Structure 1
Amino acid sequence: MDRPLLETDQIRCYMENGKEIPCDGTGQDAAFEKSSPVSIERFEMSGGVVRDGFTGAVWTQDANPAEFPLTWQEAQDFTAEMRRNRAHGYDRWQLPSRRLLFSLISHQNVNPSLPDGHPFKNVFTGYYWTRETCSRLPDQAWYGHLGGGRIHRGMKQGSYMVWPVSPSYTEKIPGRPGGSRFTVDGQCVHDALTGLTWLKDADSIGGRLTWQEALSGILALNRKHKEDRRIWRLPNIRELESLVDLSSHSPALPTGYPFRNVQEAYWSSTTSIYEPRYAWILYMRDGFVGVGFKQRNDFHAWPVSDG
């Protein structure tokens, strides 16, 4: 997987009160065309493992091979034993990275929050460990919730589920010589890792907004600059999360990032299917992926554009 997965599978749009509405003209996640194949084309089963065609990673088909929750170190030891035993014929078993676990999350389904038609079994609709430590709080590690899709952190001595993966990719940062990820062009910043373009001013829409104010503010931005070829939109939650660098904190952005006015947390265009009165949020201090109540003016908007 050279780039983070940038699309969600969300196909419905919702008002701030949670009522479903037609998507046309809303600026919400589901209003934009999806190009990713459906699950039956994405996942390939073979002898107790499942290969993900999006990422190239190989997962155990059994999403609970340890059978019981383990501490973070116990989970590391469990996957090390799988490597030694070449379980299922693979010797690279490990806990997933946060982004790799996040790549499995569905934003259209809950309990479990996995894509339609997935081939996995024994999926626990609770927390699963990742291999990554929180850089600000090294006694905590990241985990993902397979019931609703949140990505949070917790103490390593806590006990959560284990889903081993054998990654078969090297995440690269394409771009200019020297591996520079971001290129500044006036008021825009191009991200070579994702191909997306962000406004350099990370608070250009102006202050804390409700979710609808965030969506409407970006529609107004496009009307104001209608002579420009670039169309801005509120990013979906995967696009927002693609900015996160877990080796950094306060904010959790890559070292040397060129943005200004980076705020504490940002709205995405993606509704929480678990509770449609809420939308997905990226919290910038550590990179926590959570939700916010759409009718509260608690969060900011950061416009993004394709290409």
Structure 2
Amino acid sequence: MPWAEALAFAAGWARDGRFGRTDWRLPNRRELRSLLSYGAARPALPPGHPFQNVFLGWYWTSTTAAPAPGYAWYVHMEGGRMFYGRKDQDCLCWPVAGETLLPRTGQTRCFDGAGEGITCAGTGQDGELLRGTLWPTPRFETRDANVLDRLTGLLWARAADAAKGTVSWAEALDIAAASGEGWRLPNINELESLVDAGSAFPALPAGHPFTHVGEAYWSSTTSAFEKNWAHALYLHKGAVGVGFKSGWDFLVWPVCGPENI
């Protein structure tokens, strides 16, 4: 079903009190991604999960794509990729209910199917519901050559290009580890935690302190779908994809921690 129908379908569950609940909604991008297990594929869900009728296709989220507001984010349940698609195309719908302990996505605006800004009230979109924990203020604390993310406790290199250019995955692992004791290449969820879904080019919170921010970054997470590929964050857009490990396609952004904050 198209995106607007998916939003309406989830709202219909809430209106009808399906399964005794009235808080059903279309999940935002972080809520839907939270189901994923990057150690599994076909579907990319934890082994022994209780879900039925899981299709190996794209599932809508309630989060509009900031790089192209006529598109919305969706997650592919075969391998765990996350990209965005035109709001008028047909994808799957997986309603969610309840409160979330996950951080907010950062999206605060709402958009129609053509990408025009609209009033949020009654839309059921991420920009209306604002589900998730608030980000701390300030979000980031600069510590000389590093930056502490006070939301996650992770310590990031302030200069987001440790290799001074794109490298292979194996080189990225070595370069990150060589940054110092405790430093490493982040996993894909750690990288995605930096994303502000209300921003693009780059998809980082406004006023962030990072320098040398590039387009796409290696993670330490191997793809369970194809073991010679690894997950990567396309930071300019906020997308989660994959790259061939031997290819020189992505940058290196070391991380350390998390710290107890």
Q: Do both share a fold (TM > 0.5)? A: yes
Deviations 1:190-211 (CA, angstroms, capped at 9, x unpaired): 0111110101000123211000
> Counterpart of 1:74 in 2: which secondary structure?
helix
Given that 1:246 and 1:252 are in contact with CA atoms closer than 8 Å, whether structure 2 keeps it comes out as: yes
4+ residue stretches of structure 1 with deviation over 4 A? Answer: none
Distance 2:176 2:97 in 1: 40
Q: Out of 95, 108, 116, which is 1:164 matched to? A: 95
CA contact (8 A) 1:128 1:161 kept: yes
Query: How far, CA to CA, are the matches of 1:110 and 1:246 in structure 2?
Result: 25
Aligned to 1:10: none
> Is this contact kept in 2: 1:134–1:140, CA < 8 A?
yes
Q: What are the residue-to-residue correspondences of 1:106-117 with 2, within 5 Å? A: 106-117=37-48
Aligned partner of 1:123 in structure 2 is: 54
Q: How many angstroms apart in 2 are the aligned matches of 1:167 and 1:140?
A: 26
Q: Which residue of 2 aligns with 1:181?
A: 139
Equivalent position amino acid for 2:85 in 1: G
Matching of residue 295 in structure 1 with residue 246 in structure 2: yes
Alpha carbons 1:173, 1:192 under 8 Å: kept? no
1:33 corresponds in structure 2 to none
Does the CA contact (< 8 Å) of 2:233 and 2:239 recur in 1?
yes
- AA matched with 1:93: W
Q: Which amino acid letter does the alignment assign opposite residue 20 of structure 2?
A: G
Report the counterpart of residue 142 of structure 1 in structure 2: 73
Deviation at 1:231, TM superposition (A): 1.2
Gaps of 5+ in 2: 101-130
* Residue 210 (structure 1) aligns with: 168
**Partner of 2:202 in structure 1?**
251
Indicate the percent of aligned positions where both proteins have the same amino acid. 47
- 8 A Cα contact 1:172 1:193, kept in partner: no
Instruction: Tell me if structure 1 keeps the 8 A contact 2:179–2:254.
Output: no
Judged with a 3 Å threshold, the aligned counterparts in structure 2 of structure 1 residues 136 and 233 are, in CA distance, closer, same or farther, namely same
Cα-to-partner distance string for 1:160-217 (whole Å, 9 max, x where unaligned): 1110001313522464xxx211001111110111110101000123211000111111
Q: Residue type of the partner of 1:87?
A: R
Aligned twin of 1:198: 156
In structure 2, the residue matched to 1:88 is 19
Identify the range of structure 1 (198-207 vs 137-146) with the bigger mean alpha-carbon deviation. Answer: 198-207
Contact 1:200 1:258 in 2 (8 A): yes
Aligned to 2:231: 280
CA contact (8 A) 1:232 1:305 kept: yes
**Matched-pair contact (CA < 8 Å) for 2:162–2:176:** no
Q: Distance in 2 between matches of 1:173 and 1:188?
A: 23
Aligned residues: 228
1:197 counterpart letter in structure 2: L
Q: 1:196 & 1:258 partners in 2: Cα distance?
A: 14
What is the letter of the counterpart of residue 244 of structure 2? F
**What letter matches 2:220 in structure 1?**
S
Q: Deviations over 1:131-154 (max 9, x none)?
A: 010112111000000111100100
Change (3 A) 1:167 1:245: farther
Q: Which has the larger radius of gyration?
A: 1
Mark the runs of 5 or more structure 1 residues left unpaired by the alignment: 1-69, 223-229
SS of the counterpart of 1:154?
Answer: strand
**Could you tell me which residue of structure 2 aligns to residue 104 of structure 1?**
35
State the match for 1:271 in structure 2: 222
Distance in 2 (CA, whole Å) between partners of 1:267 and 1:289 is: 10
How far apart, in 2, do the equivalents of 1:136 and 1:283 lie?
12
Give the whole-Å Cα distance in 2 for the aligned partners of 1:73 and 1:299: 34
Q: Is the 8 A contact 2:159 2:211 kept in 1?
A: yes
